Structure formats: structure tokens, C-alpha cells
Amino acid sequence: NLAAPPSPSQQINLGPSSNPSAKPSDFHFLKVIGKGSFGKVLLARHRTDDNFYAVKVLQKKAILKKKEEKHIMSERNVLLKNVKHPFLVGLHYSFQTADKLYFILDYINGGELFYHLQRERCFLEPRARFYAAEIASALGYLHSLNIVYRDLKPENILLDSQGHIILTDFGLCKENIEPNGTTSTFCGTPEYLAPEVLHKQPYDRTVDWWCLGAVLYEMLYGLPPFYSRNTAEMYDNILNKPLQLKPNISNSARHLLEGLLQKDRTKRLGCSDDFIEIKNHIFFTPINWDDLNAKKITPPFNPNVTGPNDLRHFDPEFTDEPVPSSIGCSPDSALVTASIKEAAEAFVGFSYAPSMDSYL
């Protein structure tokens, strides 16, 4: 890539946290391992330190077209805040070229919870409890930073190589939501939307506890609660149909699901004391939370991966796809069009490099 450097008029001001030394050609892009609405996630090896990373590459034009710049910047901000939780994906740094954004993330290869659930149909209660506890711990931590996650679903929940939960994709997070604060953006994934979101009413952090209930229900029963192939019917079920629980789960699981999937958010489990209420629920009595957060509890399922190149838990739909050649290079400055320039200016301050003392 011998393109001339951009002229000063084309240079992008990346703000005080810029990492001008990072660039796509630092990486050897090996495989496509995921896809989103604005780009792809690739397995990449850094050419100098030989470490493996998951690199999320987003097309600026696609983001601007859908007016999603705010979500992308909030994803970056949230990733920067959460560097220190055992069940949240870590961001190493971010950088941009004129037409793309790059997130350099922890590489997690135990597979999506969604993938394992599809293969096994449902989980036994102790396994579902372990996952629900790790997810709740991560959500409780985000809430302590005044962040509401808003998009909990099995596709955003990964397993690491040992079998611990890692939450990923912070694109829909809402920052600065105080304990009693609300927000009102309509967003999320149809199967997991809380009634108050569907009603387009202001909602608060308890929206995450509804989603935890929906995911726990799906782990135990194999389908989300209120599920229907017809979206309108499913929305009607979420709003109006009473929760029905088949008898094959324990009373404590039943009680927890009824508390989390309470349609009235002011009566939902977690509405007054947030994570503490979840943590102290009888369903979680077997969990020692200090051991859980220290990863001292052996996960109930081991993905048995042999190393970073072991892609058995990724959907072949992704891994069979060729790596696009444009991923690893910056656009030639002679080809920087007006639309690329406009895109460049929309993400000022995106780049991030950790300060050296964060390594000490």
C-alpha cells in the first residue's frame, strides 16, 4: 500500500485519543467470523506481536446512510469504560481510515450462546443458572456505570474458550442513565422487546432485566417467551398474553421468570434495588458471586477449542466466506471522494490508544 499520504485538507482529526500509528496493514486478516448491519467481524493476527484479535470493521457510508453515527460512537465510549469486567468483551484500541472504522477486540472463540442453544435445543437448569448469573453480573456492572445495555439476546452472548460468558456488541447501549433515569428510543430485537418499549413509553434499566428473563426462558424452553413467527402477533403476546410456564422447571426458576418477565416495569424484579434483587433471588442461592466474578466456578460446558485457529463453534456461513481484499488496506488518497470525506468528518475522536500506564 504505497498510496501518498492524504493532503492536509483530507487529514482526519481523530481527537486527543487518536492512535495514528495503527492501520489495517498491521493485521493479517484470516477469516470472517461474524456479520452485522454495517460490516464484518474478522479473525486477525497482528503482524508484529502475533496476537489474535477479533476486528470489527464497519463501513462509514453504511452507518451514515442509516444515521447511526451516535450508536457507533456510544459503542466506542462504552467499550472504553468497560475494560475491566470478566464477562464483557475488551477493546484494545480503535482506529479509522477514510472509509472504515476498526475496533480491535478480544478474540472469543467458544461460539455464540445462540449457536449452542440451536444445537442442543435447551439447557438443563444448572447450566442456564450459571449463564444467567454471569450475564446478570455483567448487566449489574454496566448499570453501576449508568449504562443500559438494551440489546441482550443469545447472538450477543459469546462463550470464551473455557466456557464463560462474554457480552459483546455495545452498539445499542445508552449512557448516562441514572438509577431513576429513563430513555425512550425504540430499539432492540423483536423477540426480546419489553412491553414498555413496544408501548413507546419511557423505560429504564429494568428493560435489561426483562431481556435477562427472556434469555433465561429461552435457555430453559428452547424458544423466547411470547414467540410467534408473525411479528405483529408476537408483539400482541408480549403486551397482552399472560406468561405461561410449563411445569418442567423448579419453583425457584418459575418465580424468577415471573419476576423478570413482569409486564409492569414498576413491579419487575430489579426495579427498586437493581442487580442486588437479582443476586439475592432464591434461584441463585447455589451461586457464590465472588467466586463467579473471579471465574473460580468451573463452567458447566467446555467448548474444547484447541487454539485460536479452531473455528468449530463459528457458523460456516461466515467462515466459508472469502476475506474481502479491501479490509486490509486504506483507500488510495487519489480516490478519496466527497462522500468518503463526509464520512471521515462524522467520526472525529473515534480512534483510541490506551495510555501506557494502563499496562503497568
Q: Which of 99, 151, 204, 274 is catalytic?
A: 151
Asked about 151 being catalytic, the answer comes back as: yes
Asked if residue 20 lies in contact with residue 14, where contact means CB atoms within 8 angstroms, the answer is: yes
Is 295 annotated in a binding site? The answer is: no
Binding residues: 65
> What residues are labeled active site?
151
Residue ranges for the binding site for ATP? 65
